[in-house]
Chains A and B, each alone.
Chain A
Amino acid sequence: MNVRSQISTVFHLDKCIGCHTCSVACKNQWTDRRGMEYAWWNNVETKPGTGYPISWEDQEQYQGGWKRDGDSLKLRQGGRLASLARIFSNPLLPILDDYYEPFTYRYDDLFNAPAGNDQPTARAISLIDGKPMEIRSGPNWDDDLSGSPIYAAQDPNLEGLSAEERSELQGIERMVFFYLPRICNHCLNAACVAACPSGAIYKRGEDGIVLVNQDRCRGWRMCVSACPYKKIYFNWSTGKSEKCILCYPRLEAGEAPACFHTCVGRIRYLGVLLYDADRLSEAAGRTDAELVAAQRTMILDPFDPAVVEAARKNGVPDAVIDSARRSPVYRFVKEWEIALPLHPEYRTLPMLFYVPPLLPAMAQEALEGEASFFTSLEKARLPLKYLASLFSAGNEEIVKAAYRKLMAVRLHRRSTQVGDLPATLTAKAMAEARLGTADADAIYRLTSLAGMDERIVIPPMMREGFTEPTVEPQRQNAAGFAYLRPPPGR
């Protein structure tokens, strides 16, 4: 057992309202800089849809992530040799148009336009070359646009659906959408790390955050193509790649990452998971249908004395182990199994998990036959096949099991709170979901009532251990000032 700790996250999609506050928080904090205008470390997509950069899930095109090759795993875009061959021209890279050409407006014209015979207006101009431009794409182009034959219909996850199912999703009274907020998954088996020719990308030992060392990055961009989630962005101004850093400076200060802090839908959860790094290779190499379960087995029980002992041996501080015990992520992912990884078939072992959207997937349609107060799984508005394509590499049973629990919780709470539904209905749903009332209440509580301190459990970052080796020990507080540039001259 090789126990490591990873700061992991859950996004509860049933609560996501697609407001993009998270995206703006991130943009303000990190990417409002020359060279990064087009980069949204956090973005929110409408599903079904094509996302940002456009069609990022189409790995036929982008060749991101891993593939199984016999017993071993290989980067889909090829190994080091293939990378070397593409080092000056990588056809798998998204181009600017796949993201969008960043723009602004000539606001000054409103102040400076000379007196004339018509009203001035501020025209759009490119942030790249400053010239007037027509805006044809953006970071959120198909927002709320499910049902569109241009965008939604191109969603690769619709592939498994029958023609009839697909065409139904295009009509107004059948169409359906939900939001998929995305940040870097801080994967255990990160393709970007493996693909970097410069060795600039690493996981932080203490928390598993994946970072691109800005000193070492040489801008080869192999990470950009290797990341199947397209969550690494090339800064065209500095010539280096950048990505979501899970706001480690905020975490180190005990604050939630900006997109977590600002999530007004209260969908985001953060906490430590302990995992067994020895099982990594095996878990990532399972068949598609087994991937979710395999990843779950990697996640270790922080209450298990054997795990605790092994963690200590690996240098995981007691305080972090304690934090792992309070981790909401552990409950969602491991205990209740209702939070699932996004596209596990990319085999990067992503450590961001999604509670699939109860609604509108399970929303009622126009009345057909006998009325039921809440709808049933069989009448799902969004085919489970689609959801399985996103969250379980096609394994519908896994998605179904999660939905059974989510729905049983509501029935249970309804019967406690109102008591207008037949008791047998609730009992049946609870039994089918294999859910006890204590767990149902706990799921309800963490979903509905939990405050920020319960939703976001930041482990102590033990920063002293990282600053101590770099400063003179006799100087009071030197650590806090250690890295600042000293005044020039002496």
Chain B
Amino acid sequence: MSWVKDIFDPDERRWEEIYRNRFQTDKVVRSTHGVNCTGGCSWNIHVKNGVVALETQATDYPRISCDVPAYEPRGCQRGISASWYLYSPLRVKYPYLRGVLMDLWREARKVHADPVAAWASIVNDPAKRQSYQEARGKGGLRRSSWDEVLELTAASTIHTIKRHGSDRIIGFSPIPAMSMLSFAAGSRFLQLLGGVNLSFYDWYCDLPNASPEVWGEQTDVAESADWYHSKFIVSMGANLGMTRTPDVHFAAEARHDGAKLVVLSPDFSMTSKYADQWIPIHAGQDAAFWLAVDHVILKEFHHERKTPYFLDYVRRYSDAPFLVELEKHQGGLRPGRMLRASEIARTRDTENGDYKFLVWDGTANAPRMPRGTLGFRWQHEKGQWQLTLKDGVDGQDIDARTSFLEGNDGLAQVAFDEYASGKVALRGVPVRTVETLRGTVQVATVYDLLFAQYGVSRGLAGEYPASYDDADAAYTPAWQERFTGVSAAEVIRFAREWATTAEKTGGKCSVIIGAGVNQWYHGDHAYRAAIAGLVLCGCIGKNGGGLNHYVGQEKLAPVAPWSALAFALDWAGPPRLQNAPSFHYVHSDQWRYERASEDEKLNPLPEPSEFATRHTMDHQARAVRLGWLPFFPQFDRTPTAVVNDARAAGARTDGEVSSWVVRQLKEKKLKFSVEDPDAPENWPRLWFIWRGNALMSSAKGHEYFLRHYLGTHSNAVAPETAMGEVTDVAWRDPAPKGKLDLVVDLNFRMDTSALYSDVILPAATWYEKDDLNSTDMHSFIHPLQAAVPPCWESRSDWDIFKAIAEKVSELAKTHIPEPVREIVTRPLMHDTPAEMAQRELRDWAKGECEPEPGKTMPGLAYVDRDYVNLHNRFISFGPVVRAQGIGAHGITWPVDDLYDELVLDRPTVEWGGKRYPSIAVAKDAANVILHLAPETNGESAFRAFQAEEKKVGLPLTDLVAGSRNVRTTFADLARQPRRLLDSPCWTGITGNGRTYSAYCLNVERLVPWRTLTGRQHFYLDHPGFIAFGEALPTYKPKPGQDVVRDLEASGNGGPSLQLNYLTPHGKWGIHSTFGDNLRMLSLSRGTHPLWVNDGDAEKIGLVDNDWVEAYNDHGVVVVRCVVSARIPTGLCLLYHAPERTIGVPKSPERGNKRAGGHNSLTRVRLKPTLMLGGYGQFTFALNYWGPTGNNRDTFIRVRKLVGAPQW
């Protein structure tokens, strides 16, 4: 054909050079995005003419093995848009100050030569303080200089320490793993001065509480390559295509290798599209579905077929065989506490006998005490904390009976609660009688209780459902239909395919799960139900199996040395670590808008009790008082004042100070701050925000933040309802507005948090600094690196906090010249002997026991703060690590020689006559971590496993013997990502080309889970869980608008819809990052719209792309809508997380003020069971345990915006 021209002639093609020139770049530097994303993708940053041009993914991850697809490329649409930020008009190039404050400050500095006095003159003057607080977020920012902002910030820091106490200085930065040194910069600074770090995982409601409940583990999951080994993958509450963008190919590739992928989701999502089957389940009803699946598995695969693999698995790896005492209650017998060694004659004298639990031995025909339970972990004689079914007394093998169906002393009728119907069913459970020191008791196995709870009769008498079709009895397939909308037949098929696959493959079934299931008030129930389905089929601790929870989890691989560095444990401890949900619930006064009666409906009880029936705020105050949860500020005076007051009263030693404190608390002369949070002496005062968007995308109850923290305008209209309903907490009228004296934000973009802060410090982007990145989505560690120097006046987080520290030390020479001693409160901690603190519920404040620090109340510790040397300490890796070693999860190992190598071989700092490894430069800090971490240093790994071996009594070091000589440096990572070495800080086994899957170490090497029994728990033996009726997997109804009452004060004018309001993770941003850049906005319709069902839209005359006003008592959002049949009726989606800084009009509904962001419509409701503590795995650790900021049980009204949008 003549018209198609093939041209070879080079002369004719000289013009082709145009595009070649655009393509060519000068150098490529490996970095990544230190944003709150689990991707952990390694990127190549292309620099041209000294300017970052663009980025492409690195594709050189070491291959794991030839039978698994490789990790390449990793990196999504969001990551590849990052270069837009560097030179964009959204970039924070210089330090900024709020104009009103700048004027006040410059005025004050003219009068006061001393910066601290100048600051005091402003914040001690209510009118001045209010003037800049009210201006927050309302424009008027002005460029400042580094000298000015550093001085102001340092002055505020010193003033706050002196006047209010160091524990009134708080900091928030999300998930450290993705840029761990940048996180550590701020946390190290705060912990050296006595400040408070807020948690994030629980606050985001990403912490799956079921994980600590069942496994005693914060979260441990498979890397995404391990999905490839799975032969049945269920995705629920997780939108892989949307949020696991770099990993999702493994799911498709697994499908082509014969796996089935089933998606449970209310909307037809990107992942539904990718799946063999989409099961459209009603939002928030996953527990009902899984309980019915478990019902079928128990009936068909455990009872009728007695699948050997499954039965053997639950006997060895779960609490199924453990004995639970049946206790008499009003309604009859109920499952009570687990029977323990101290209660029977044979083992009454065993050490920690209250924390060693019993099983029935078929051989001895008597209870026996298997190794591996909590008491063995903390006893003097080490080496018996192992998952062998051997008796702790004589080492004999135990034939642990999971069921008394055969061989029992009778059948007891036991009461089981069905909360959805309010019914109590009496069901027959086979029991044994046991002679205890208290007399004869009836016990059942957890396994038999499980059958009864699930309504699987096995021919036993009682109110069991007759068949799968019995729709009135929990938890049959027919029963779940009304909640889930899924047919019983579907559930039965699912269960059979699931269990058959697990049986044929030895447990290669997995659940990928996330926010869509976790972020409900009763999210932990759904998780437990799904976990039960996995454990019953032997799918935990298997490659290709597992509960793979992917939301907000991250994985900071070199956790042991990093923790020491990040929380300044190399100098002193304990750190002040605060669970953010409790903190914000209390301090942002969201508790004032809640009723006690709401709590009862939210969380129905088996029977009312003094313990369980109360306002959430009272639960919160009690949890602090009893040492279950931390709380800062600690007391109604400064931490140094407490010590000084005690000394003034005659106390000389720390012990005497503690005695004084205990007496004062008992006599109510000294108060916990949480008991009167609105008193000015208990307010937080100074807030550092870095790497995150604490005031918007992270601010559940955002409008309450604006009102009570910032003292600026708020669009919340909810009535205050807690007065008279709280008993343990003081009520003050009016509620304080503007608790915070100063908000300092480190940022590279002008996001909502920056806009509302007083001081904005220009931060380096991820392409302008050195840092480390790891994730659990893959098993590599790799760096961030400066492809170009920090642009304009920006600095890395590390260098900014170092500079603030330097200024604080300088001012301290005048103001706090000598070290001061502080009291630090600490809750009863996980992975410490405090797991054995509280077997029973006893409240010292009610005289039920004596207040005893670290036992019945928080522990009390003492730390010297050396403010003059704060900067010196910041830049020096301290001597405590050398002396005490490093550790995590209850084990510690020595690193003194490795520390000495750092002194010999690396940059050092010398002061006070001593030399320390220098961490003045972030890259050096990275090398310190890499040199000490078992995941990157084979010798450290070997020693860590040696330490674990001692506790467990079984060989483990062989796992890393072959990699003992591995040493990894930052320069190595710059060349290529490195695969992490196995370490007892984690639970996978990755040698010989294996992909990482959680709990393989437990299953294969018999290392106990860190729980009461050392096994996986179906039964939660905590008196609090029993009181709340949640000891066994259960279902509690999803609360409706009549319960949560989000719309009491909001009008109903004009045609509008009441909808359940969901904020899943979106396609065009990682939280709020990227979502405001032009690339993502162009691809997302220029906004982050509200998605509404087409039928619903029609009801109120809504057409696609109309502006809508979405509102409730908590606030208002004005945004465009998308109308789609993809969304089910009755709910709407506003993908997390738009900024209110980009194209947001004003709201006619709320006085024509600027409408808000997605968190303007949320308010947190804390679940009291998640505050329980002091016992077993239910003990505190940051981001491990505590109530979550759940946010999905929220209702809004949506209507068409009246008139044109107002700007």
| Chain A interface (Cβ < 8 Å from any Cβ of B) | 4, 14-15, 17-21, 23-25, 27-30, 102-105, 107-108, 110-111, 113-124, 132, 135-136, 138-141, 143-150, 170-173, 175-178, 188-190, 193-194, 199, 201-206, 208, 211, 213-216, 245, 247-250, 252-253, 258, 261-266, 280-281, 359-360, 363-364, 366-367, 371, 373-375, 409-420, 444, 447-449, 451-452, 466-467, 469-470, 483
Q: Mark B26-60, 1 if CB is under 8 A from A, else 0.
A: 00000000000000000000000000011111010
Q: Mark B73-92, 1 if CB is under 8 A from A, else 0.
A: 11111011101000011100
Q: How far is the CA of A258 from the CA of B44 in the complex (A)?
A: 13
Q: With A14-B252, A249-B19, A366-B490 given, is the CB distance from A119 to B138 under 8 Å? A: yes
Q: With A118-B138, A204-B6 given, is the CB distance from A105 to B1143 under 8 Å? A: yes
Q: With A115-B135, A265-B248, A363-B278 given, is the CB distance from A193 to B273 under 8 Å? A: no
Q: With A115-B99, A138-B1086 given, is the CB distance from A265 to B249 under 8 Å? A: yes
Tell me, yes or no, whether B656 is within 8 Å of chain A by CB: no
Q: Which residues of B contact A374 (CB under 8 A)?
A: 260, 276
- Verify A280–B4 contact, CB threshold 8 A: yes
Task: Please tell me which one of the listed residues B3, B13, B245, B1122 contacts residue A193 in the complex, with CB atoms under 8 A apart.
Answer: B3
Q: How far is the CA of A149 from the CA of B96 in the complex (A)?
A: 49
**Minimum C-beta distance from B480 to chain A (A):** 15
- Verify A113–B140 contact, CB threshold 8 A: yes
- Verify A115–B100 contact, CB threshold 8 A: yes
- Verify B272–A360 contact, CB threshold 8 A: yes
Q: Which residues of B contact A121 (CB under 8 A)?
A: 1140-1145, 1154, 1207
**Minimum C-beta distance from B645 to chain A (A):** 43
- Verify A116–B139 contact, CB threshold 8 A: yes
- Verify B11–A470 contact, CB threshold 8 A: yes
**Minimum C-beta distance from A266 to chain B (A):** 5
- Verify A262–B56 contact, CB threshold 8 A: yes
Closest 10 CB pairs of A and B: A115-B140, A414-B258, A147-B1125, A113-B139, A135-B1086, A205-B8, A194-B3, A448-B253, A413-B258, A249-B23
Task: Please name 15 pairs of A and B residues whose Cβ atoms are closer than 8 Å in the assembled complex, sorted by A.
Answer: A25-B56, A110-B90, A113-B140, A115-B140, A119-B1141, A120-B139, A121-B1140, A138-B1082, A140-B1084, A170-B1125, A189-B1, A266-B69, A411-B258, A448-B253, A451-B69
Q: How far is the CA of A124 from the CA of B150 in the complex (A)?
A: 35
- Verify A188–B260 contact, CB threshold 8 A: no
Residue of A nearest to B508 (CB): A418
Q: How far is the CA of A80 from the CA of B76 in the complex (A)?
A: 44
Q: With A118-B1154, A193-B4 given, is the CB distance from A147 to B1086 under 8 Å? A: no
Tell me, yes or no, whether B72 is within 8 Å of chain A by CB: yes
Q: Mark B642-669, 1 if CB is under 8 A from A, else 0.
A: 0000000000000000000000000000
Q: With A29-B54, A363-B278, A373-B260 given, is the CB distance from A148 to B1125 under 8 Å? A: yes
Residue of B nearest to A212 (CB): B15
Task: Please tell me which one of the listed residues A249, A252, A264, A418 contacts residue B245 in the complex, with CB atoms under 8 A apart.
Answer: A264
- Verify B1–A21 contact, CB threshold 8 A: no
Q: With A15-B252, A448-B253 given, is the CB distance from A110 to B1141 under 8 Å? A: yes
Q: How far is the CA of A140 from the CA of B1154 in the complex (A)?
A: 28
The interface stretch among B497-505, B869-877, B892-900, B906-914 is B497-505
Q: Which residues of B contact A469 (CB under 8 A)?
A: 10-11
Q: Which residues of A contact B1125 (CB under 8 A)?
A: 146-148, 170-172, 175
Q: With A17-B245, A24-B80, A265-B249 given, is the CB distance from A359 to B273 under 8 Å? A: yes
Q: Which residues of A contact B1174 (CB under 8 A)?
A: none
Q: How far is the CA of A450 from the CA of B22 in the complex (A)?
A: 31
**Minimum C-beta distance from B334 to chain A (A):** 38
Tell me, yes or no, whether B721 is within 8 Å of chain A by CB: no
Q: With A20-B77, A21-B75 given, is the CB distance from A108 to B89 under 8 Å? A: yes
Q: How far is the CA of A99 from the CA of B1123 in the complex (A)?
A: 21
Tell me, yes or no, whether B1124 is within 8 Å of chain A by CB: yes
Task: Please tell me which one of the listed residues B1, B280, B755 contacts residue A173 in the complex, with CB atoms under 8 A apart.
Answer: B280
Q: How far is the CA of A18 from the CA of B245 in the complex (A)?
A: 9
Q: Which residues of A contact B755 (CB under 8 A)?
A: 110, 119-120
Q: Which residues of A contact B814 (CB under 8 A)?
A: none
Tell me, yes or no, whether B408 is within 8 Å of chain A by CB: no
Q: Which residues of A contact B1207 (CB under 8 A)?
A: 121, 123, 132
Residue of A nearest to B1126 (CB): A147
**Minimum C-beta distance from A446 to chain B (A):** 10
Q: Which residues of B contact A263 (CB under 8 A)?
A: 73
- Verify A19–B273 contact, CB threshold 8 A: no
**Minimum C-beta distance from B1080 to chain A (A):** 8
**Minimum C-beta distance from B545 to chain A (A):** 13
Residue of A nearest to B141 (CB): A111
- Verify B258–A415 contact, CB threshold 8 A: yes
Task: Please tell me which one of the listed residues A118, A144, A412, A470 contacts residue B1146 in the complex, with CB atoms under 8 A apart.
Answer: A118
Q: How far is the CA of A371 from the CA of B72 in the complex (A)?
A: 37
Q: How far is the CA of A204 from the CA of B19 in the complex (A)?
A: 15
- Verify B274–A420 contact, CB threshold 8 A: no
Q: Which residues of B contact A23 (CB under 8 A)?
A: 77, 1083
Tell me, yes or no, whether B111 is within 8 Å of chain A by CB: no
Q: How far is the CA of A252 from the CA of B19 in the complex (A)?
A: 12
- Verify A359–B276 contact, CB threshold 8 A: yes
- Verify B5–A193 contact, CB threshold 8 A: yes
Q: Mark B212-227, 1 if CB is under 8 A from A, else 0.
A: 0000000000000000
9 additional A-B residue pairs with CB within 8 Å, beyond A19-B245, A115-B140: A17-B245, A105-B1078, A118-B713, A119-B1141, A148-B1123, A194-B3, A417-B258, A449-B69, A449-B253
- Verify B493–A371 contact, CB threshold 8 A: yes
- Verify A122–B258 contact, CB threshold 8 A: no
Instruction: Name, among A18, A374, A412, the residue most crowded by chain B CB atoms within 10 Å (CB to CB).
Output: A18
Residue of B nearest to A108 (CB): B89
Tell me, yes or no, whether B888 is within 8 Å of chain A by CB: no
Q: With A105-B1142, A214-B15 given, is the CB distance from A418 to B256 under 8 Å? A: no
- Verify B252–A265 contact, CB threshold 8 A: yes
Q: Which residues of A contact B984 (CB under 8 A)?
A: none
Residue of B nearest to A242 (CB): B19
**Minimum C-beta distance from B274 to chain A (A):** 6
Q: How far is the CA of A419 from the CA of B258 in the complex (A)?
A: 10
Q: How far is the CA of A487 from the CA of B729 in the complex (A)?
A: 79
Q: Which residues of A contact B501 (CB under 8 A)?
A: 418, 420
Task: Please tell me which one of the listed residues B19, B90, B138, B489 contacts residue A115 in the complex, with CB atoms under 8 A apart.
Answer: B138
Q: Which residues of B contact A410 (CB under 8 A)?
A: 255-256, 258
- Verify A24–B280 contact, CB threshold 8 A: no
- Verify A419–B1083 contact, CB threshold 8 A: no
Tell me, yes or no, whether B147 is within 8 Å of chain A by CB: no
Q: How far is the CA of A450 from the CA of B18 in the complex (A)?
A: 34
Q: With A24-B80, A28-B83, A451-B72 given, is the CB distance from A118 to B256 under 8 Å? A: no
Task: Please tell me which one of the listed residues A4, A150, A203, A266 contacts residue B249 in the complex, with CB atoms under 8 A apart.
Answer: A266
**Minimum C-beta distance from A91 to chain B (A):** 23
**Minimum C-beta distance from A323 to chain B (A):** 18
Instruction: Name, among A23, A107, A414, the residue most crowded by chain B CB atoms within 10 Å (CB to CB).
Output: A107
- Verify B273–A176 contact, CB threshold 8 A: yes
Q: Which residues of A contact B787 (CB under 8 A)?
A: none
Q: With A124-B1143, A144-B1126 given, is the CB distance from A261 to B231 under 8 Å? A: no
Q: How far is the CA of A7 from the CA of B214 in the complex (A)?
A: 55
Residue of B nearest to A107 (CB): B89
Q: Which residues of B contact A30 (CB under 8 A)?
A: 19, 22
- Verify B1122–A110 contact, CB threshold 8 A: no
Q: How far is the CA of A15 from the CA of B252 in the complex (A)?
A: 6
Q: How far is the CA of A218 from the CA of B1143 in the complex (A)?
A: 39
